[in-house]
A and B are shown apart, each in its own frame.
Chain A
Amino acid sequence: MTEDPAPRASAAGSRRRSPWGRGSSRQLLALPTFGWTLLFFVAPLSILLLYSFGQMNLITFDVNFGWTLDNYRQLNQSLYVHTVVRSVLLSLGATLGCLVIGYPVAYTLSKQQGRIQTLLLIGVMIPFWTSFVVRTYAWVNLLQNGGPVENVLHALHLSHGSLNVLYSPTAVWIGILYSYLPLMILPLFVSLERIDPGLTHAASDLGASGLRAFRRVTLPLSMPGVIAGCILVGVPATGEYVIPSILGGGKTLMYGNVIADQFFQVGDYPFGAALAMTMMAVVTLFLVVARSGLSRVEDVT
């Protein structure tokens, strides 16, 4: 019989396709997304990479693409090393804080039922839905000397004198923790909710105490949620710009602010590009580690 090459290429036993074929006009549907990505994502990032190996004449503002590693060498300066370390530490600290605070909350939510659970979930998400700048700015009101937090601490005799927290790394840490907490609670909740309550009952039946049942059953089974939450919080926190701008008050700068300064104040594009590429590398590393951890725990469960 005649050979029909067209339908052959698909993977053997592949899932069914919609009946409307795969005509060439259908392929046009892919054009906008890949076109936009290529033009406004891949191309700009490539130029950024190119710039990071270039040099800028600070008088004429011309960029020479000299394939120099100078920009990356400059990162060795203690200012930038400190910034990178500070950003990573703040991001890790905030991620850890979110995890410690978020886990009990997610656990409580997963034990609720029906309407109450929905309402509580919405309650967790509402602060996340409010404007990011506003959310962060609210902490300026709270943390300022003579503000509510100071008053409460004084009333409880936990501290004396001025709080002096605003415009410090602690304030930035609190800001990140606060803003990203819902992003930690949500995946934790999803993974905890999925655990069959029968499993913990079974563990108790087999003689495990409440805490032991939690440690031996619930905690390992919720690991995918823990890792997903850490990705959702850790990645954007590393590149955070708004929170340190508002709560760091120009003193405690994070990585994102240093990059922005290179573009807006210093005007050294190649160095800014090198900083940005380095951040990409840091985040990619973080993701690779987290995802390999994720695939490991998902194998187990």
Chain B
Amino acid sequence: MSTTAEQSRPPAIALEQLERHYGDLTAVAGIDLAIADGEFFSLIGPSGCGKTTTLRIVAGLETPSSGRVSVRGQDVTDVPAFKRPVNTVFQHYALFPHLNVFENVAFGLKERKVSRSDTRRRVTEMLELVGLTGREKARPKQLSGGQQQRVALARSLVLEPAVLLLDEPLGALDLKLRKQMQMVLKEIQREVGITFVYVTHDQEEAFSMSDRVAIMHKGKIEQIGDPVDTYRRPQTLFVADFVGASNRFEARVVERLGSGSYRADMGTLGTLDVPGVAGLAVGDQAVAVVRPEAIRTAPGFGDAVLDGTVTDVSFMGPQTQYVVDAGGLGTAAMLSPADDDDLLHSGAAQQFRFAARSAWLVAADPGSVDDAQ
């Protein structure tokens, strides 16, 4: 998460106390954030969480109600969008329909009065980078969705911005193309070394590409961290739910074991030693989050056992998902690799197991986490 560069150089983007209100509606409710130079950073959250508004404020397309935006240490809050050293890749590409690919990519260079020969060289290089050499004369309408996406990318990157902002850039593509473009984006980012700020509602997409992600909820950032940490150690129930499926089991803290570990009373599952967020107190009502892939049927596996009946089986190729009715514990989901000895059938009664250390305790009500961090 931290690099030496972060200390010596100002962050590519710094947001301080950023807020945006529309009448009574609050889109952004006070955000503080620093994004390091060269980072691939993602803002994720459900629709309406304020991620796109935040991105647009950074681009200068939206004015904050209060707060400051700096780019590379310079306050740009009052700088109009067309003078900011950031560029945006729009959700629906926003390619100029009356210009061909070359003219689209050259658009910004012309505003900067770059010479004809330089323009030609830079545009050609950029089209090569995104793999569109030979399509210079094509109109946006004649291109496929993925190609349009690449033109939009080239059009912004050719200006060598301090930060590239991407607003759900893959939202309009089908799944296969999406996966492909994720690789392309990651590769290009590594090659050009420009800071990417990526907005998406797709947690998997963000995780697969980003150095760090911020999860937004109701105009606030709930958690910032690298994908692994965010997935394994969500700080709130909202984050736990948003970053992938999770099973929830009620738990009550009976003892603090120090260094983020607790002894918890989990009803019929017994009393288990479970890691969790800092700051839970003895007697707190908490939730133990267990990822579906942490549940197994192998005898002797783990230390928590629940009896249940399989109610639904979905074979998905590399893995199989089971829905389990666990009686008083509610329903649970289990994800197991396809090479798992034999598939369970719907209606099968079985013991399901997980290791207590693979569970993670978060406060049941977000308000009960004190500011211990």
Let me know if A1 and B23 touch, CB within 8 A.
no
Binds B, one of A6-14, A126-134, A179-187, A287-295: A6-14
Q: A12-B23, A12-B25 are in contact. Are A1 and B67 (CB under 8 A)?
A: yes
Let me know if B22 and A1 touch, CB within 8 A.
no
CA distance A19 to B81 in the complex (A): 8
Nearest CB in chain A: distance from B55 CB, A: 13
Give the contact-size bracket for chain B.
Answer: 10 to 19
User: Can you name the residue of chain A whose Cβ is closest to the Cβ of B27?
Assistant: A13
Residues of A within 8 Å of B21, CB to CB, are: 8
> Which residue from A3, A10, A14 sits with its C-beta under 8 Å from B66?
A3
Asked if A196 lies at the interface with its beta carbon under 8 angstroms from chain B, I say no
Let me know if A13 and B66 touch, CB within 8 A.
no
Residues of A within 8 Å of B24, CB to CB, are: 12
Nearest CB in chain B: distance from A197 CB, A: 28
Let me know if A8 and B23 touch, CB within 8 A.
yes
User: Can you name the residue of chain A whose Cβ is closest to the Cβ of B64?
Assistant: A4
Asked if B65 lies at the interface with its beta carbon under 8 angstroms from chain A, I say yes
Interface string of B1-28 (1 = CB under 8 A from A): 0000000000000000101011111000
CA distance A10 to B22 in the complex (A): 7
Residues of A within 8 Å of B257, CB to CB, are: none
Asked if A2 lies at the interface with its beta carbon under 8 angstroms from chain B, I say yes
Let me know if B23 and A10 touch, CB within 8 A.
yes
Interface string of B49-68 (1 = CB under 8 A from A): 00000000000110111110
How many residues on the A side are at the interface (Cβ–Cβ under 8 A)? 14
User: Can you name the residue of chain A whose Cβ is closest to the Cβ of B16?
Assistant: A1
Residues of B within 8 Å of A13, CB to CB, are: 22, 25
Let me know if A2 and B22 touch, CB within 8 A.
no
CA distance A7 to B77 in the complex (A): 14
Let me know if A2 and B23 touch, CB within 8 A.
no
CA distance A255 to B63 in the complex (A): 56
CA distance A10 to B21 in the complex (A): 10
**CB interface residues, A 1-33, toward B, < 8 Å:** 1-4, 6-14, 19
Q: A19-B61, A19-B81 are in contact. Are A1 and B66 (CB under 8 A)?
A: yes
Let me know if A1 and B61 touch, CB within 8 A.
no
Nearest CB in chain B: distance from A19 CB, A: 5
Let me know if B63 and A7 touch, CB within 8 A.
yes
Q: List 15 A-B contacts (CB under 8 A).
A: A1-B17, A3-B66, A4-B63, A4-B64, A6-B63, A7-B63, A8-B21, A8-B22, A8-B23, A10-B22, A10-B23, A12-B23, A12-B24, A19-B60, A19-B81
Contact residues of B with A, CB < 8 Å?
17, 19, 21-25, 60-61, 63-67, 81
Contact residues of A with B, CB < 8 Å?
1-4, 6-14, 19
